[in-house]
Structure 1
Amino acid sequence: MKFEKQTYKLILLSIYIGLFLGESVGFSQSIASSKVGLGWSGNSINTVIFRNQALTSNNEFQFTAYYNQEGYMVLAKRSLGTNKWLKHITQYKGNIQDAHNSISIAIDNAGYLHVSWDQHNSPLRYAKSIDPLGIELSEELEMTGLQESSVTYPEFHNLPNGKLLFLYRSGESGNGNLVMNLYNPKSKEWKQIQNDLISGEDARNAYWQTTIDKLGNIHLSWVWRETWDVGTNHDLCYAISTDNGLTWEKSNGEKYQIPIIKETAEVACYIPQGSNLINQTSMDTDSEGNPFIASYWSLQEGTPQYKVVYHKDDNWHLMDTDFHKTAFSLTGGGTKRIPLSRPKILVGDQGVYVLFRDEEMGNRMTLAKTNLNKVNWELSDISNREVGQWEPNYDVNQWKTNNEIHVFSQKVSQIDGEGLDKIDPQPIYIVEFRDN
């Protein structure tokens, strides 16, 4: 990576000055931030990457959610373009001692907020707002009543037709299946459309992520894990649905037989076990609907690095980076304390972006930028705040509709193997910027 140290110092200085004044000149960005409130920080539960979504919006209002120091779930909203957040401490608590038990939210096209929280191989917890655009929640609700006894990694996604997707793992690490539900805001009903979309065959499970392109196609990527040990993660796989998740196919149009299993999965990039491959992928698509997938792993005995796998011109391609310099090994179970965050990828007209956090760079929120016509990456910190073991989560709607990046930010700590740290509650900020 050709990036002069003096240039980097100048960019950091300009960003620091810009944040003091309310803006920054890195990447020609204008950076603003608003404080939401104080949240629990004894582990990374408020900032784990698989929350999807921690932050969501419609054309008028933006919503977020987090656990406070007592473990209560707090909902907050603001009018877009303002810094004043209206907060409500809900009646619901979560087991904040387990960083898997994160909160995922979405807003449907009728304005109702949907919330799922506090699940790690445990029964579904789900509620929705009592009123449109409200932040007071109903009693706990069923979705479909099917496969709701052992839920992990709940995540909502908005479809362009106004419907909502809800995905989760049924089962446990090393032995779980992917379930998909579809919500119709007109009938206000959930329907299970896949009870075993990706099957671990009682031998493994898939750690996935999803993105929706502008045509409403659902892109799904995942890595396999053979046991509870993160060191058994392997291979990067892919599927796409063009009919709201009912049928699935490979990138070449070949139809999948459901459930997708290890033997039938399209492998976008072969990665052997023991490669320090992190679980959960990150996805976005370009304007033509080509999928881009970000993760990190190491080649042979090398240092783990962020990598981007993308599909273009009927082939899969790999983009490498060299940001990180110090080797580390991923083994064991539970939520890990890792020097690198899992990345979020964003693909726009101006290029490809990777949002991440690295201990070597001071544990700040860092944005890397490149395009497919050059091999160099430009790096810029988007905040001078140190964020501990934070992982990125952004408002998908603001990115897709306004080309703005709104990031959920909080300094958190994470002790290895699901440990807890004694740390005071830390402020939650929403940091927003655009690349001009």
Structure 2
Amino acid sequence: MLPSLLSTSVLALLAGVVLSSGAPTGAMQAPIAAATPALSAIDRVWSSHRVGYAMVVTDSRIIVAYYDANRQLTVASRPRGAPAWVYHKVDSWTGWDSHNYLAMALDAAGQIHVVGNLHGDPLVYYRTTQAGDVRTLARVPVMVDPAAEQRMTYPIFLHDADGRLVMKYRDGRSGNGNEIYNVYDPATRTWRHLLSTPLTDGEGRRNAYFVGPRLGPDGWFHLAWVWRESPMAETNHDLSYAKSRDLVHWTRADGTPLTLPIRLSSAEIVDPVPVEGGMINNNTVIGFDPGGRVMITYHKFDKAGNTQIFVARREGDRWRTQQVSGWQGFRWDFRGGGSLDSRLFVEGPVPVGRDRIRVSVIRDGKPIDFLLDAASLKRIEERPANRLADRLRGVIAVPEGMVLNTLEDPSGSGVALAWPSRPPHRDQPDEDITTPTVLRLVEEATPR
């Protein structure tokens, strides 16, 4: 896992689902239909370490951004239902860093925006000059402010309540960074700061690591995060929360306005998990119960020192926390910097009918679903789960030492990507370079 982001990556925004033949390396989503989907080859891709790709699916077109066999950032596009891809390579090559994932989105005019290959680096951003035509992608050297675009990490595209394209990223480094939001005007083809100040301020001593924001059924954007004191993953602490109607004006859960930037001293603390308390960024994921109330899935150590899954739910004027798992002898004692080969991933709570909630996790490569009673939050059942990568293992060959990464379109189109790679390697060069693997398009016969 990226101890210092991904979202998605979130991220529903990154639509990331990574289930492995060994260990997982990204976020996940709900299972898709049981039938084996159709596969087709897109390109040969870099496989010596895992790095996240991006995909946009519209009614008429599929667009994919990835690093090819030579590590070069490539964007490919094809019409829905047609086999012919159009490819375009741009002037950016990834190193050995699993933080260098790609993000992509369309604006209201249909122009393609691609950003990525960033881990404390100057802006790497491309935009088309002709709507939908990947071969017109051109580098844009400045988005808004060059001074705030020299140490960029964790770019994420989303759309605000008015449908405007927004990009957020971290300016700074792990343990000392600010969250910046920019908004795009397709009429003038220019970006501007959405916020006049960073969303959070670590006061030079820490920074916030976010999952979201996620638009809820109540029309609010919900945001969860942890604070981290240094680049060391074990220094995460204090699960925090805020919400907004417009991504500009932020409040506590009870509607009390928050003055920006939000600092540790002014943040709403959901659970005061201490440093070395077993909580990590990325694994603090927003979801909702059958009544639309906001919930957060996360993990921390229990009193016996075991790692356990927890959920938090806003109930009336307080946050209620509930232990979900009852594992014995399982302790993920993560430490250090760089991209971790994670043992645990969590998904936000999902309503199941009117009186049940599903919490999905991956533990040591094994997908698990917890079914909770919606009223009490008590565990009803813990059962094995089956995800896209599990169904593809018998169809796609995964070389020894590699994992099968999958990336699903969150809109329910039934389109996904799949490619084998090695797991993250703490962002350090490996002893050799593996043979490139095939990036495949996965299409269900019947979309969700």
Range into which the TM-score falls when normalised by the shorter chain: 0.7 to 0.9
Q: Contact 2:67–2:94 (CA<8 Å) still a contact in 1?
A: no
8 Å contact from structure 1 (residues 106, 158) kept in 2 = no
Letter of the 1:278 counterpart: I
**SS of the residue 1:297 aligns to:** strand
TM-score normalised to structure 2 length = 0.77
The 3-state SS of whatever aligns with 1:155 is strand
Per the alignment, residue 8 of structure 1 pairs with: none
CA distance in 2, matches of 1:70, 1:301: 48
CA distance in 2, matches of 1:241, 1:339: 32
- Asked if 1:240 is matched to 2:220, the reply is no
SS in 2 for 1:376: strand
1:149 partner amino acid: Q
Q: Which residue of 1 aligns with 2:48?
A: 42
Instruction: Give the structure 1 partner of residue 369 of structure 2.
Output: 368
Deviations 1:262-300 (A, max 9, x none): 011111222111123221233344676533333333324
Deviates more, 1:274-283 or 1:383-392: 383-392
Query: Partner amino acid for 1:178?
Result: E
Pick from 307, 311, 323 the counterpart of residue 308 of structure 1: 311
Which of 340, 343, 366 is the matching residue for 1:339?
343
Question: Offset of 1:93 from its aligned partner?
Answer: 1.9
1:319-330 mapped onto 2 (5 Å cutoff):
320-322=324-326, 326-330=330-334
Q: TM-score, normalised by structure 1?
A: 0.79
Task: Report deviation, 1:198.
Answer: 0.8
Flag the 1:432–1:306 CA change in 2: closer, same or farther, 3 A: farther
Distance 1:28 1:170, change over 3 A: closer
SS at match of 1:375: strand
What is the match of residue 24 of structure 2? Answer: none
Whole-Å separation in 2 of the counterparts to 1:419 and 1:33 = 35
Corresponding residue number in structure 1 for 2:99: 100
393 and 306 in structure 1: CA distance in 2 versus 1, 3 angstrom threshold: farther
CA apart distance, 1:166 = 0.8
* Partner-residue secondary structure (3-state), 2:234: helix
1:279 pairs with 2:285 = no
> Which residue of structure 1 lines up, in the alignment, with residue 297 of structure 2?
294
Cα separation, 2, equivalents of 1:299 and 1:141: 48
Query: 1:143 aligns to what SS in structure 2?
Result: coil
Match of 1:424 among 435, 439, 445: 435
Confirm or deny: 8 A CA contact 2:405 2:421 kept in the other structure: no
Percent identity of paired positions between Structure 1 and Structure 2: 24
2:9 counterpart residue number: none
Given the superposition, is the C-alpha separation of residues 391 and 380 from structure 1 closer, same or farther in structure 2, using an over 3 Å criterion? Answer: same
Task: Determine if contact 2:182/2:192 at 8 Å carries over to the other structure.
Answer: yes
May I ask how many residue pairs the two structures share in their alignment?
Answer: 393
Indicate the SS of the match to 1:198. coil
Question: What is aligned with 2:63?
Answer: 63
**What is the deviation of 1:322?**
4.9
Shift of 1:313: 4.6
Once the 2 structures are TM-superposed, how far is the Cα of residue 103 of structure 1 from its aligned partner?
Answer: 0.8
2:155–2:170 CA contact under 8 A, matched in 1:
yes
How far the C-alpha of 1:371 sits from its partner, in A, is 5.0
Q: Identify the structure with the greater strand proportion.
A: 2
Offset from partner CA, 1:146-167 (integer Å, 9 cap, x none): 5111111111112352201111
1:225 is displaced (CA, Å) by: 0.5
The higher relative CO (CA closer than 8 Å, separation ≥ 6) is in 2
Deviation at 1:76? 2.8
Which structure is higher in helix share? 1
> CA RMSD of the aligned region, Å?
3.2
Query: What pairs with 1:394-413 in structure 2 (closer than 5 Å)?
Result: 394-396=408-410, 398-399=411-412, 407-413=416-422
Residues 85 and 166 from structure 1, CA distance in 2 versus in 1: closer, same or farther, beyond 3 angstroms?
A: farther
Q: Which residue does 1:359 correspond to in 2?
A: 364
